[in-house]
Amino acid sequence: MKIAPFWVSSALLVPRALAVLTESKATSATLTASTAAAPSCTSSLTISLCSYPEPGPDFAVAIDSRASCWDYCKAHPPCNFVIFSAGKPNTGTGTCWLYLGETFDASKGSSNSANPSLSVYSQPVCAGGSASTIAGACACQPLAH
């Protein structure tokens, strides 16, 4: 009877472990996502920053990966860019900052540090269609305070 919860928890951890392994690819200059409407979408890394004005609390969302940041953005338009604030490097988690209806302004940020932790990504460009929500992705809502 005690074995079933172990297997269930193992089954839940395997996808996370695989996500961590594939996340290392997302730390390059582009993010790639596959969807039914758009077989290949990429979002270019615009710049890495040390600081940028934080969005309000309703638009800073804990997220499991850089790629998930765009999924969240697509679910909450209009969104022209996102900033991924790295959390724990070994897990790939962090915070997704949304700036609805705004255009990225590099003059508001600073890159004067040895280890920039903010990654600014442009809106995805998709081959064969437009960016769409990945099937099976969870829709998240802004945090209410």
Instruction: Express each pLDDT in 43-99 by its tens digit.
Output: 889 999 999 999 988 899 999 988 888 888 888 888 889 999 988 878 889 999 999
Is residue 49, in this structure, part of any structural domain at all? Answer: yes
With a threshold of 0.75, does the pTM exceed it? Answer: no
User: Does residue 104 lie in a domain region?
Assistant: yes
Do the domain assignments include residue 42?
A: yes
Structure tokens at 134: 């990945």
Residue 88: predicted pLDDT: 80
Give me the domain span that covers residue 73: 3-127
- Is the pLDDT assigned to residue 113 strictly greater than 80? yes
> Which of 90, 109, 140 shows the shortest CA–CA distance to 46?
109
Residue 135 within any structural domain of the chain: no
- 115, part of any domain: yes
More confident residue, 53 or 34: 53
> CA quadruple 7, 64, 33, 129: dihedral positive or negative?
positive
Q: Are the CB atoms for 81 and 46 separated by under 8 Å?
A: yes
> Using CA atoms, how far apart are residues 38 and 118, in angstroms rounded to an integer?
27
Domains in the chain, number: 1
